[in-house]
Amino acid sequence: MKRTENEDAEEVIFTIQGIIHAKELPPIMLKPRYVRERREKETDKGNNKNRISAYRYKFLRQGITLTGLGSPTFMRAVDAIKSIHRRFDRQFEEGALEAWAEYRPDEPETDRIGLWNRYLTPAREAEGMQSVPFLPGVDPNGTLRGMSQEDGMSYVHTEDNQVHYYATRRNEDGHLMYVPPNNTDETTIRK
């Protein structure tokens, strides 16, 4: 997105059409729990052992997994994303960028793309980053905010942790607009 002609691009929006295979999306209403084997659950009945511990909060994330079910268009999009990843990978120190991992390399016709982002970052990993409030609708009960300082662990929610959700709408000129849900402001991103 460029606000002025002389400004560098700040953000790029990719559009890919696929089928949602899996999702973990806000709002977060309750503190998350472990998913355990059935026999373990039976032995833990009546206690609070199935709540995740504070050192694992950095793994809480929001996101979706898309699949194209073998669609050639989807596969071309996956190939384009892989190509972009390879270009970025050359710009960083070896190991600095997470390796591209095929979702299911043994079944390329069901290739999937996982798009995920953490809710919280350990404070020691966020040096120099400012904590920002959760966007409306993400943490309505303050659950994540309360978890950020629990059991001696310290987490922050930074701008890098935020995921902005948009809906598409056409304006009166017929241009496709990306707008925050329930937003009537037309100063939005144009396609």
pLDDT digits (tens, 9 = 90+) for 24-75: 999 999 888 766 544 444 455 555 556 788 888 999 999 999 998 888 999 8
CB 10 within 8 A of CB 1: yes
Q: Please give the share of the chain, as a percent, with pLDDT higher than 90.
A: 30
- Asked whether residue 180 is assigned to any structural domain, the reply reads no
Helices within the chain (DSSP H only):
38-43, 72-89, 143-147
Highest mean pLDDT among 108-117, 128-137, 177-186 belongs to 128-137
Would 47 be classed as within a structural domain?
Answer: yes
Phi first, then psi: give them for residue 83, nearest 5 degrees.
-65, -45
For residue 100, being part of any structural domain is answered with: yes
Q: Is residue 107 in a domain?
A: yes
| 110 vs 148, higher pLDDT | 148
Instruction: State mean pLDDT over 142-155.
Output: 88
8 A C-beta contact, residue 116 and residue 122: no
Preceding amide of 26 cis, omega within 30: no
Number of folded domains that form the chain: 1
Which domain does 65 fall in, by range?
19-164
162-176, pLDDT tens digit by residue? 998 888 889 999 998
177 lies in some domain: no
Q: How many helices (H) and strands (E) does the chain have?
A: 3, 9
In a domain, 191, yes or no: no
The mean per-residue pLDDT over the stretch 164-190 comes to 74
Contact between 79 and 71 under an 8 Å Cβ cutoff? The reply is no
Decide if 170 is inside a domain: no
The answer to the question of residue 144 being in a domain is yes
Are the C-beta atoms of 163 and 62 separated by less than 8 Å? yes
Helix ranges (DSSP H) in 115-186? 143-147
Cβ(63)–Cβ(114) below 8 Å: yes
Span 86-111, mean pLDDT?
Answer: 71
